[in-house]
Amino acid sequence: MSRLDKSADAARGSGPIVPVAGFRVDKRATDAVVWLLLLTMPFWISWIGGYTQLGTRVVILALAAMSLNFLLGYTGVLSFGHAAYFGLGSYGLGLTIKFLVPNTLVGMAIGVATAIVAAAIIGVLIVRLRGIYFAMVTIAFGQVFYFIAYRWNNVTGGDDGLSGWHRMPIDLGFTQIDVLNNDLAFYYVALFCFAVSVGIMALLLRSPFGRTLLAIRENERRARFLGIPVDRHIWLSWLISCTFTGLAGTLYAMLNNFSDPHDLHWEQSGNFVIMAVLGGMRSFWGPLIGSAIFIVLEDYISSRTENWESFIGLFFILIVLFFPRGVLGMIKRKTMQ
């Protein structure tokens, strides 16, 4: 059954040919198409009823979902609390720009560092747990930062979120990128961060270290008896995943010029997981497709009805019951039959 959703394209050495929609397509061609679409998105997104910020949102949340999938799809560990690290990135940046240094790059560095530190500490506590136990503890730990943000009113803005700041133009010394007033420039900055992060993750998955993660996903006992220090590698995978999720969080705060307590909430964690599942967890680009569908749908439904949460909930249920392999999983399965 599941052998059909050919695992880990990025990490397998068995030829770059992947069947898509009846054709056998070169994997490099797929990558090229994806990058081309992303690079040109601001120019065509308005034709299909979108706008630049919506595209930026897709790219940023796709980064978070792909980072989560590094853990979920490629290490086989279920985290349901990734919003915590996303939100820590968001607040780390917001607080830095508002209270410390009005500098975007410093804010991003501090935001990501905050996420890394929290993930490293929590990772030590959870790394020996597995399966639903791991999932439950990540959910619960995720929520602690929400309560801190919610309660620490005079610093974080509590329930109202952290506003009264905005992203600053990025000064590179030789030139300045005006991300503040130019949404297009900000899109490309976000895309640049996305590309670097995704590139690093793809490289890691192709490395011997990445293969040990696959080994752990496939059969933990075997991996342990090969001498792979399983706990340590899960911890590393968790840390890598949370780091890039934190980076996505900093970008998201910059997109909105606002740190939202909802960024930290478990609902956001669930959204990341559904994006990965919807696109296909066993495919490298799956979460990107999932996030695009999810965000466009959410944007559409929430503009039409007050009760969009019910529709999102229904959407979750329908995916789980009828579409569990996700878009790319289904396409692969169809073409292999």
Partner 1 sequence: MTELILYNVFNGLIIGAFYALMALGLSLILNLSGVINFAHGGFLTLGGYLAFVLVPFVGFWGALLISPFLTAAVGLVIERLMIRPLYGRDPLYSLLLTFGLAFIFEDGTRFIWGPQTLPFSVPIWLQSQLSTEFFFLTGYRVFMVVLATVAVIGLFLILSRTRVGMRIRAGTLDLETVSVLGVNTRVLRTVNFGLGIFLAGLAGVLAAGMLGLQPTTGSELIMPSFVAIIIGGLGSLPGTLLGGLLIGVASGVTSVFFPDASEAVIYVMMGLVLLVRPRGLLGEEGRF
Partner 2 sequence: MSLLQVDNVSKRFGNLIAVNDVSMTVEQGELRAVIGPNGAGKTTFFNLISGFLAPSAGKITFDNQDVTKLLPAQRVWRGMARTFQITEVFPELSTRENLRIAVEVAAGYRLKTWLSRDLDGEVRARVTDLLEMSGLAGKADRLVGELSHGDQRATEIMMALALKPRLLLLDEPTAGMGDQETYDITQLIRKLHRDQKLTIVLIEHDMRVVFHLADRIMVLAEGALLAEGTPKEIAKNEAVQAAYLGKAA
Distance of CA 310 to the CA centre of its chain: 23
Binding to partner 1 (CB under 8 A) within 312-331 occurs at: 312-317, 319-321, 324
Q: Taking contact as CB under 8 A, which single stretch among the options 146-154, 186-194, 222-230, 261-269 is the one that binds partner 2?
A: 222-230
Q: Which does 227 bind (CB under 5 to 8 A by kind): partner 1, partner 2, none?
A: partner 2
Residue 191 burial by CB count (10 A; 0-12/13-18/19+): exposed, middle or buried? buried
Residue 152 binds which entry of partner 1, partner 2, none, with Cβ cut-offs from 5 to 8 Å by kind?
partner 1
Interface with partner 1 in residues 52-81 (CB under 8 A): 72, 78, 80
Residue 274 interacts with partner 1 (CB under 8 A): yes or no = yes
Place of tokens 């997981």: 273
When asked if residue 229 is in the footprint of partner 2 (CB under 8 A), the reply is yes
Q: Given candidates 18, 189, 215, 289, which one binds partner 2 under the rule CB under 8 A?
A: 215
Contact with partner 2 (CB under 8 A) among 26, 159, 171, 218:
218
Closest CA to 295 of 63, 69, 58, 59: 58
- Report the distance separating Cα 262 and Cα 267, nearest Å: 8
Most distant CA atoms of the chain, gap in Å = 59
Q: Of the listed pieces 59-67, 149-157, 182-190, 241-249, which binds partner 1 according to CB under 8 A?
A: 149-157
**Stretch binding partner 1 (CB under 8 A), from 160-168, 182-190, 200-208, 308-316:** 308-316
Binds partner 2 (CB under 8 A): choice among 224, 301, 302, 323? 224
Token pair 């919506």: residue: 54
In Å, what is the CA distance from 75 to each residue of 7, 8, 281, 322, 334? Answer: 11, 10, 11, 25, 25
